[in-house]
Amino acid sequence: MAENCSRKLVVEICNAKNLMPKDGQGTSCAYVLVDFDGQRRRTKTKFRDLNPQWDEKLEFLIHDPESMASEILEVNVYNDKKTGKRSTFLGKVKISGSSFAKSGSETLIYYPLEKRSVFSQIKGEIGLKICYIDEDPPAADAAAPDQKSEAPPPPSEEKAAEKEEEKKEEKTEENKEDEKPAAAKEEEKPPEAPAISPPPDSVESPPIAHDEKPKQQIVKSVTGKRTDPGVNDLEIRSLGGNRSRSTYDLVDRMPFLYVRILKANRANSDTGSSIFAKLVIGTHSIRTKSVTDKDWDQVFAFDKEGLNSTALEVSVWMEKKDTETDTSTDTSLGNVSFDLQEVPKRVPPDSPLAPQWYTLEGSPENMSGTDVMLAVWIGAQADEAFQEAWQSDSGGLIPETRAKVYLSPKLWYLRLTVIQTQDLQLGSAPEPKTRGPELYVKAQLGAQLFKTGRSAISSSNSANPTWNEDLVFVAAEPFEPFVMITVEDASTGKSVGHSKIHVASIDRRIDDESEPRSRWFNLSGDETRPYAGRIHVRVCLEGGYHVLDEAAHVTSDVRAAAKQLAKPPIGLLEIGIRGATNLLPVKTKDGTRGTTDAYVVAKYGPKWIRTRTILDRFNPRWHEQYTWDVYDPCTVLTIGVFDNGRYKHDEAGKPGKDVRIGKLRIRLSTLDINRVYLNSYSLAVLHPGGAKKMGEIELAVRFSCSSWMNLLQAYTSPMLPRMHYVRPLGPAQQDILRHTAMRLVTARLARSEPPMGQEVVQFMLDTDTHVWSMRRSKANWFRVVGCLSRAAAFARWLDGIRTWVHPSTTVLVHILLIAVVLCPHLVLPTIFMYAFLILALRFRYRPRGPVNMDPRLSYVDAVGHDELDEEFDGFPTTRSTDKVRTRYDRLRSLAGRAQSLLGDVAAQGERVEALLNWRDPRATGIFVVFCLFASLFFYVVPFKAFLLGSGFYYLRHPRFRDDMPSVPNNFFRRLPSLSDQIL
């Protein structure tokens, strides 16, 4: 196998930081053991160093480059003990092969060391550089001896060793290694002679929940590769990458009649004429393309439920054209019939049905002996031939109606730091007593344009202004060729000079530890000024950020842009798009009746899927199943239903627009693991006239997870990559970059073939969430009120106790107050125990399935038609002047109330500041005297007595209360604010 290898993996073990001391003397003697594809390499031992530096390169053979992404690189760090003693585990790292970079683009990445068991005491991180090199196949005799893989121990011994190691390590941690050093010596030494373990025969999928209908079990065999004993069926399915042969267990199998027609022989016919075949089933009739000397090799798929006949007739015709009259005549060469009840059935992964020669019946006497080669079978939508076949339910071979998978472009942040300029050729020098010109730098990447602040030229910085400002762009692969930089004079608006940076030459970085190199670029003026100075910039592609290209509250991906930071998936999301019912007509067909040509779009992460379009049906049945890798459980799947208007063109040849039918979102964190949710969701769309129910869609959803530990660990890890926290972007800047990324994704998907409409992408990404909407404002306001309703209910309950509405409850609260003051150590245990009991009792009332869009929560029925029309109005407005004036007056009234609310909130804070800043000397003097007496009072009176006295005073009977406000309230209300200083 080695002599056929053309790729090798190079793993450079650079260093480690802050390792756990394991030798009992506060240090460790660390070495690294690396396993990849049945091969094992080891570094040297660094003695007595918690921050060892190796700088060793280890090489591995990649036997199958195509399956490299499915391999796992495992790096284990051990503490080397004396001869005859077992090594101590210091941590491990597992890296997916999909994150390996090509040679030349690798960077130093620090991976945190992971535990091997719950009781492991591990800390620190290890720095690695990983890349692969493609090279010519080496000669068989040139293989280096050190690259020969050794044989690991048999599987039974390896598993037993792992179990023994885990048990002894748990014992070591429980007994605390510093107290019982002898127990630490029982940790297992890693195997010295690795061997290739035989693969498992098969793996099975997780069992389905008891309340769901049984689904087909998925069996996948893995042969010829070393599989980690901890890898289960989900990881094998995720890493295998072969999704085309996955079973359709979330959807029903739709029967299709397949006809594959290849060619015909024409022994006695005119070879110069073209022939075609015609397929007829009842009222369904379709013909192949006309060919002369080529084969047809076409596949036709007929929806079996829509057939109105039990016989299939295939006929071959010869087409002759009369060049003088420009007409053609068709002559039948015969036909062959099939009884559909006798057609064989095929279910993948069965091999394709072999085509056969059939003699045509009814041929003319001068054209007898014509045969046709074809194959007829009954299959399902999972058949390999279905995607490229002519489909009866989706309009045949129309590209705009076929099922497709789209990928969003890979997005990066491009950071341009403008430092300074030198030797600017400004033409005439400014006079000494006049103000110099104000310069700024303008940078442009594609349609994105950003400017720095202005820097004035003075005698101190003569023609050498300094900015030190960052300009951040969104760059999409494939990148724009250049970044254009221009220095302009703000006073005259003229360009001082310009330069351009080739994007392909820009450095990439994935963390904040390495600062990109700064570069000088010459500035060019016009033809008379080839040199106008030079500019000093620092530019890099930021791979440590995740570029948000969708609304933050419905994000579906949080991974960093750099491939080196990719982590293996924690689960698998599977969705079965079964069908829709009771769809309303969206358009008219032939001007006589309503019709709907529906299809479904689903978006999760960078992967978009579009089902085939079912033409002219109000109850379409798709039964298509798709899968996504899941990297974070707190993400959202977005599903939209549309009416296809692009497969038809108007008189000018322009395609129509797709019409919204409805949308829903499913948050993965609300789904149980390995459970199938089969539900129908209502589809509603918002119009200027209000919300309209368009029908229902039936979906089957399953979220599978390979490890509960990985899933729970995801809840404790940061939501976004590290760069978002060490070098955060401002909220306003993030908002601008997000909308820029949305526009880039929309433009790139619109350039696909067939294109995904701009209106579809914008609807799925919620690009209009920043537009003013009275309805959304009301909905958000009542959301805030709903969140505060619990606090308001508690306040009402407390006021009822305070006013002795229920005397028995108030007496019990007095007793509870005494118990809390006298036994304060029981406060927190009691609170958490109550919380545990309340939440445990509420478990039975948890939501049983994914929730759908809520029209009541969206307040679509609580606003008027004019307010909805305002929401659908574009920017700038297209409505009449009177209507805009009415809406403006309404907005002014709402803004006035919000303005008053903001003023009241600000006044409360200003009163507190006035109390401490002597703005009212008498009030502050009173407060100073109060503080003096309060300090003496609390020095004499025990704090528990004060709490009891305050509680009893607060709960005193109403007959002992005063109807007027309290003294502290009166004092606070009299403090001054800054409201009287506002113009």
Please give the Cα distance from 420 to 425 (Å, whole number). Answer: 14
Point out which residues pair with 337 in neighbouring strands.
Answer: 313
> CB-side exposure of 537: number of CA atoms within 13 Å?
29
**What is the arithmetic mean of pLDDT over 289-311?**
87
Please give the Cα distance from 523 to 484 (Å, whole number). Answer: 11
- What is each CA distance from 794 to 76, 569, 785, 821, 837, in whole angstroms? 54, 43, 14, 21, 19
Least confident of 42-56, 164-178, 255-269, 303-317: 164-178
Query: Is the pLDDT higher at 637 or at 177?
Result: 637
Crossing angle between the packed helical segments 774-802 and 807-822, to the nearest 10 degrees = 90
Whether 622 contacts 614, CB under 8 Å: yes
- What is each CA distance from 566 to 37, 66, 103, 558, 569, in whole angstroms? 19, 18, 17, 11, 9
* pLDDT tens readout for residues 705-723: 888 888 888 888 888 999 9
The encoded tokens of residue 34 equal 């690396």
Please give the Cα distance from 116 to 121 (Å, whole number). Answer: 9
Strand-strand pairing, 455-456 and 466-476: unpaired
Sign of torsion over alpha carbons 739, 743, 749, 755:
positive
**What is the arithmetic mean of pLDDT over 812-823?**
85
Residue 219 has pLDDT above 60, yes or no: no
> Quick one: which of 930, 909, 931 has its CA closest to 975?
909
Please give the Cα distance from 700 to 252 (Å, whole number). Answer: 11
- What is each CA distance from 837 to 76, 123, 831, 843, 932, in whole angstroms? 43, 36, 10, 10, 45
Residue 329 has pLDDT above 50, yes or no: yes
Look at residue 328 in the predicted model and tell me its pLDDT: 74
- Single-letter code of the amino acid located at 583: L
- State the residue for tokens 């739709």: 254
Whether 55 contacts 15, CB under 8 Å: yes
Query: Is the pLDDT higher at 831 or at 366?
Result: 831
User: Number of helices and strands (H, E) in the chain?
Assistant: 16, 41
* pLDDT tens readout for residues 64-115: 888 888 888 999 999 887 645 678 888 999 888 888 888 877 888 888 888 8
- Give the confidence band of 877 by pLDDT, cuts at 50, 70, 90: confident
Phi, psi of 475 (to 5 degrees): -115, 135
Task: Output the 3-class SS for 356-377.
Answer: EEEECECCCHHHCCCEEEEEEE
* Three-state SS at 900: helix
* Number of Cβ atoms within 10 Å of the Cβ of 527: 6
- Residue ranges and CATH numbers for the domains of the chain are 6-135 (2.60.40.150), 255-397 (2.60.40.150), 410-427+435-542 (2.60.40.150), 563-765 (2.60.40.150), 774-981 (no CATH)
**What is the arithmetic mean of pLDDT over 767-788?**
81
Phi, psi of 696 (to 5 degrees): -140, 150
Look at residue 223 in the predicted model and tell me its pLDDT: 31
* pLDDT tens readout for residues 646-658: 888 777 778 889 9
Please give the Cα distance from 532 to 522 (Å, whole number). Answer: 8
Whether 219 contacts 247, CB under 8 Å: no
**What is the arithmetic mean of pLDDT over 529-546?**
92
Look at residue 269 in the predicted model and tell me its pLDDT: 54
Look at residue 268 in the predicted model and tell me its pLDDT: 58
- State the alpha helices, DSSP H only, in 847-966: 855-858, 865-872, 881-916, 921-940, 943-954
152 preceded by a cis bond (ω within 30 of 0): no
- What is each CA distance from 9 to 131, 140, 224, 241, 253, in whole angstroms? 6, 19, 19, 20, 43
Strand-strand pairing, 203-204 and 371-379: unpaired
Look at residue 733 in the predicted model and tell me its pLDDT: 92
Look at residue 797 in the predicted model and tell me its pLDDT: 86
For residues 655, 660, 661 and 665, what is the CA-based torsion angle, rounded to 10 degrees?
A: 130
> Quick one: which of 729, 726, 728 has its CA closest to 513?
726
- What is each CA distance from 745 to 411, 626, 655, 749, in whole angstroms? 9, 21, 20, 6
The encoded tokens of residue 675 equal 């459970």
Please give the Cα distance from 408 to 839 (Å, whole number). Answer: 41
Please give the Cα distance from 314 to 297 (Å, whole number). Answer: 14
Residue 487 has pLDDT above 60, yes or no: yes
The distance of Cα 256 from the centroid of its chain, to the nearest Å, equals: 35
Strand-strand pairing, 507-509 and 533-542: parallel
- Single-letter code of the amino acid located at 614: I
- Give the confidence band of 724 by pLDDT, cuts at 50, 70, 90: very high
The distance of Cα 418 from the centroid of its chain, to the nearest Å, equals: 32
> CB-side exposure of 844: number of CA atoms within 13 Å?
3
**What is the arithmetic mean of pLDDT over 954-960?**
81
876 preceded by a cis bond (ω within 30 of 0): yes
Please give the Cα distance from 488 to 450 (Å, whole number). Answer: 13
Phi, psi of 174 (to 5 degrees): -65, -35
* Three-state SS at 129: strand
- Give the confidence band of 5 by pLDDT, cuts at 50, 70, 90: low
* pLDDT tens readout for residues 161-212: 444 544 444 444 444 444 433 333 334 444 443 333 333 333 333 333 333 4
For the chain, percent of residues with pLDDT exceeding 90: 32
Please give the Cα distance from 391 to 614 (Å, whole number). Answer: 10
- What is each CA distance from 668 to 141, 238, 674, in whole angstroms? 54, 18, 12
> CB-side exposure of 425: number of CA atoms within 13 Å?
14
Phi, psi of 355 (to 5 degrees): -70, 155
- Single-letter code of the amino acid located at 575: I
For 943-963, letters b (16+ CB in 10 Å) and e give eeeebbeebeeebeeeeeeee
Please give the Cα distance from 413 to 419 (Å, whole number). Answer: 19
Please give the Cα distance from 412 to 446 (Å, whole number). Answer: 14
568 preceded by a cis bond (ω within 30 of 0): no
Look at residue 846 in the predicted model and tell me its pLDDT: 83
* Number of Cβ atoms within 10 Å of the Cβ of 472: 20
Whether 567 contacts 96, CB under 8 Å: yes
Residue 348 has pLDDT above 60, yes or no: yes
Q: What is the mean pLDDT of the chain?
A: 81
Query: Is the pLDDT higher at 401 or at 880?
Result: 401
Residue 560, Cβ density class (10 Å: 0-12 exposed, 13-18 middle, ≥19 buried): buried
* Number of Cβ atoms within 10 Å of the Cβ of 788: 11
- State the residue for tokens 């003013």: 772
Look at residue 326 in the predicted model and tell me its pLDDT: 66
Query: Is the pLDDT higher at 35 or at 528?
Result: 35
Sign of torsion over alpha carbons 832, 838, 840, 843:
negative
DSSP-assigned states of every residue in 792-852: HHHHHHHHHHHTTSSHHHHHHHHHHHHHHHH-GGGHHHHHHHHHHHHHHHHGGGS--S---
Residue 941 has pLDDT above 60, yes or no: yes
* pLDDT tens readout for residues 120-154: 788 889 999 999 888 765 444 444 444 433 444 44
The encoded tokens of residue 35 equal 């396993």
Whether 112 contacts 100, CB under 8 Å: no
Whether 946 contacts 938, CB under 8 Å: yes
Residue 666 has pLDDT above 80, yes or no: yes
- What is each CA distance from 195 to 152, 191, 520, in whole angstroms? 2, 10, 55
Least confident of 389-403, 709-723, 840-854: 840-854
The encoded tokens of residue 834 equal 């109550």
Count how many residues are written for the chain.
983
Residue 523 has pLDDT above 80, yes or no: yes
Least confident of 418-422, 439-443, 826-830: 826-830
Report the Cα–Cα distance between both ends of the chain, in Å, rounded.
85
Point out which residues pair with 1 in neighbouring strands.
Answer: none
Residue 592 has pLDDT above 60, yes or no: yes
Query: Is the pLDDT higher at 187 or at 490?
Result: 490
